[in-house]
Structures are given as structure tokens and as C-alpha cells.
Amino acid sequence: MTVYRGFVADTPDDPFTGAPLRAETDAALLVRDGVIVERGSAATVLADNADEDVVDLEGGVLIPGMVDTHVHLPQVRAIGGLGMPLLDWLEHRALPEEARLADDAYAKGVATDFLDGLARAGTTSALVFGAHFSGAVDELFAQADASGLRITSGLVVSDRMLRDDLHTTPERAYAESVELARRWHGHGRLRYAVTPRFALSTTREMLDACEQVVRDVDGVWFTSHLNENPREIETVNELFGPGYDDYLDCYDQHGLLGERSVLAHDVHPTDRELQRLAATGTVISHCPTSNASLGSGLFPMRRHLDAGVRLALGSDVCAGTGFSLLKEGLQAYFAQQLLAGVGVPLTAAHLLWLATRAGALGLGLGDEVGDLSVGKAFDAVWVRPAEGSTLAVNLQHAVDEPDAVARLFALGTPGDVAQVWVAGSPLL
């Protein structure tokens, strides 16, 4: 057994319902077989376990492993394409890079860069938009299995309006998806997610094929995009036509909403869509740097909360500008500040919740990870800035624990992540 001693901060209960940050400057966690078995003040835990190894995490803050609910495998090498709205950015930046994953050797390198990027940013669980090529997705799963990260992913399927080399048929999409799910769904910490790119690039027949995979593979997840950009929404409504109420209805009519469904963005929802998201338990992955970078808009968080929609955070690399959920938390805060009068005033507790526990709940991992309570796996991040750095100075001068966590979100980067554990095993 090992005792981890340091400044520990987490959010076991929802700050949106008034729960406070849980933080203690000199706390200790006793970990056995990767699971937290005792938690308390350092004095108490150390006195109870005098013979155990102690890992002293002096300086910095220990937080739960972060949970990214929307991030694209093939885009790790294409971050930073600024100055384009969604559909232009897809054509000129994202899709040319995605096409390169047809080459298995290239895809192998991308999977390595991608998983390294997650771990170095302190992300221990993620719902990953895979590639359009089953070889690349197979490679991701194989490397994710070896890495120890908790990864849910799947083959991205489309049959129109992208580029010919990224299109497939509903029959082939079904067959390849079921085969990948057979190999990897439920294997170790891996799960399969049915992943049509978005309604714009999928015909009704393709959504039928997706529905069939969801029916045929027990416990499979579903993910896609929703209501990101006005031109995208207009095109989806034209393509699907009068038989569909709105963008969300494209997924709903094909049986694709529910508590294991996660849709990214929803920057421009209708009231009907919000009600339907809440009624089905579908999770919205809020991706704030992506929304800002592509000029998609400011996320109406207040309307989602009022409607009772489940929310989590996503980096959306590479429309998002990096893997760090500390940065996404800060950008979520900025966006709400800019929504004068209708934004949600986010505190440090909200940001930590969105980056950790909300994501764990959104991905159905709430019993295992997301906070550092007794009984949870020791998935944790030690943010320990370099001596003399501005973050180190600011942590030393924080007025209280919530202030220290706010400073962590204001200044923290992947360069400040000193160690990451999944179920007690160090990743860095």
C-alpha cells in the first residue's frame, strides 16, 4: 500500500446544486491495489499507516484524473488552424489530415502522439472520435489498452459531403463497427462508441446502420456532433427535410439518444431539443476553445442547466486548441462571463467538476473515477509547477483552497503536470 500526501482537491458533489469544493492543504490518501481505501488529514492517515510507503507530493495540487468527453484521434497533428468557420475548417484543415490515417503506419504514429497528448495533459479517461479507417481505430484500441488509459472510441462513419476517400457504405460501416466492437468493447478499460461524424455527412440509411449496431452490441456507446454552427444546422435541416423536427431529431428518430449518448457542442439549440436531451438523459459535451476558435458561438449553459441537460467538458482537438482540460475550464469561464446577463458565473468548484466528475458521470464511469473518495480508483493528476514559475508563485500566495484551484485553472498547462496515475499506476 502507498500513502500519497499533499494538497488534495476534488468535487464529489455537484457545485451546480450548491455543493462546495472539497480541498485540504495537507491531506493523505491510502491506496491499495489501485483503489483509495482511506482518506483524511495527513496526520491521521500517516499515524494509522506508519509502515506504508509515503509519496510526498509537496508543492502543487493533486486533483482527480481529468475526463475529456470529446476529442478527435486523427487531429492531434493539426492543432492551430485559425481563422475558418466550421465547414471551411473541415475541408481545408481537419479532413485532409484525417485522410492520411488510411495509411496504417501513419495511423500508428498518430495514435502514439494522441495518447501521449492525453496523458501529459492529465486526462485519464476520454470519449474519442476515432478515424474513418478501421485499421487506425484498431491501432488506437491496441495502444490504449497498453497505455492503461480509459478509452471509449469507435469507427467514424459517413457516406456523403466529406471527401470520397472518407466515405463508406452503410453495409460496410455496420460490418466494420461490429467487428471492432467484438474485439475491443469491454476489453480491459476500453469500450466501443458508434460514431457517425454528424447528421450532415450521414444519410438516413447510414443512421439506420448505426442504430443496428447499437441494437446488436450490448452496452455500446453513441457519440456525434450537434448544433455547432448556423450554416451546418441549416444544411442538416435541408438534407433531412420536413419529416424531422430539427437537428437532434435526426439522431432521435434513429434511436440514438439516451444515457450512453454524448453529443458535442449544442451551441444553438431549440427549446424542444433541450427538453428532448433532458428527457432522454443524453449528455452534451461542451467544447469551449473549439467554439471560440471556429467562431461557433458562446455556449448557452444557463439554458442547458435550466432544462436539466447533463453536461461535461471536451477539448475537441483540433478545433480545440490543445488537450488541457484546465484550459477548457478557463475558456468555459470566459465564455460565460461574456454572455452578459445570461451567462453562468462559474467558480473554481464548477471548473473542477466539469473537468473531472461531470465527465466521469457523463461517460458512465461515476462509480469508479472522477473524484478522490474512498472506494474510487486512484486516477489522479499531480499539477506541480516548476519552482519560481508564475503558477508556483500564485499557488504560494493563494488566499484559500478555492482560490488555489482558481489559480490552477487560470495558469496551469500540460507543462505543469508532474505525474498522472490510472488505478495507481504512474503514466509519466
Footprint of Zn ion (CB under 5 A): 264, 316
Q: State in angstroms the smallest separation of the CB of 334 from Zn ion.
A: 20
As a whole number of angstroms, the distance between CA 139 and CA 136 comes to 5
Q: State in angstroms the smallest separation of the CB of 238 from Zn ion.
A: 22
* Residue among 236 and 391 whose Cβ is closer to Zn ion: 236
Longest dimension (CA), the chain: 70
Q: State in angstroms the smallest separation of the CB of 210 from Zn ion.
A: 17
* Residue among 62 and 264 whose Cβ is closer to Zn ion: 264
Q: State in angstroms the smallest separation of the CB of 63 from Zn ion.
A: 25
| Three cell numbers, residue 189 | 478499460
* Residue among 69 and 212 whose Cβ is closer to Zn ion: 69
* Residue among 91 and 400 whose Cβ is closer to Zn ion: 91
The answer to whether the bond into 287 is cis (omega within 30° of 0) is: no
Residue nearest to Zn ion (CB): 316
Q: State in angstroms the smallest separation of the CB of 49 from Zn ion.
A: 45
SS (H, E, C) 108-128: HHHHHHHHHHHHHCCEEEEEE
* Residue among 223 and 394 whose Cβ is closer to Zn ion: 223
As a whole number of angstroms, the distance between CA 94 and CA 363 comes to 25
- Amino acid identity of residue 321, one-letter, is T
DSSP structural state of residue 81: -
Q: SS3 for 394?
A: helix
* Residue among 31 and 101 whose Cβ is closer to Zn ion: 101
Tell me the β-bridge partners of 382: 62, 419
As a whole number of angstroms, the distance between CA 428 and CA 425 comes to 9
Q: State in angstroms the smallest separation of the CB of 358 from Zn ion.
A: 18
* Residue among 69 and 147 whose Cβ is closer to Zn ion: 69
The answer to whether the beta carbons of residues 153 and 73 sit under 8 Å apart is: yes
As a whole number of angstroms, the distance between CA 188 and CA 145 comes to 7
* Residue among 249 and 316 whose Cβ is closer to Zn ion: 316
Q: State in angstroms the smallest separation of the CB of 70 from Zn ion.
A: 6
Strand-pair category, 2-10 with 22-32: antiparallel
As a whole number of angstroms, the distance between CA 323 and CA 320 comes to 8
Q: State in angstroms the smallest separation of the CB of 16 from Zn ion.
A: 24
348-355 vs 401-411: helix axis angle to the nearest 10?
60
